[in-house]
Amino acid sequence: MTTYYHSLHRLGLNHTFPLGETWIENSTLEYCLVSRPYPLEVDVETCKIEDGHAHFFWLLPITESEREYKIKNGVDALEEKFEEAEIKYWDSNRESII
C-alpha cells in the first residue's frame, strides 16, 4: 500500500497519507506519518553505503485529528505532543493525543 501510494505521490519525510481504512480493526489510526525514528538512537536513521548514504524513516500510524494538527502546527509540534503524552507507538488501539 505504501509503495503504491509512493508511486503516485512521491512520499517524503513528514508526509502523511491515508490508509484507506483503519490500520487494525477497531483502531482510530487511519493515516501514516513518514517520520524520523526519533525515539531510537540517532545512528539508526542514516546508513553509509559505498557511494553515499541512505536514510531510514518509519511509518507511524496516526489519527485524523493528529494529521490535522500536524498540518496546522507542523510536524515538530505533533512530535512534541507525542513525547509529552508518552504514546506507545506499538499500540494499534491507542487514543488520539489531540
Residues 7-20 pLDDT 10s: 998 999 999 999 88
Q: CA 62: distance to chain centroid?
A: 7
Task: Report the pLDDT value the prediction gives residue 65, as an integer from 0 to 100.
Answer: 96
State what percent of residues in the chain have pLDDT above 70: 92
User: Which triple of cell numbers denotes residue 32?
Assistant: 501514516
Listed as ranges, residues in the chain with pLDDT below 70 are: 23, 39, 41-42
Contact 45, 55 (CB under 8 A): yes
Domain boundaries of the chain, sorted by first residue: 2-85
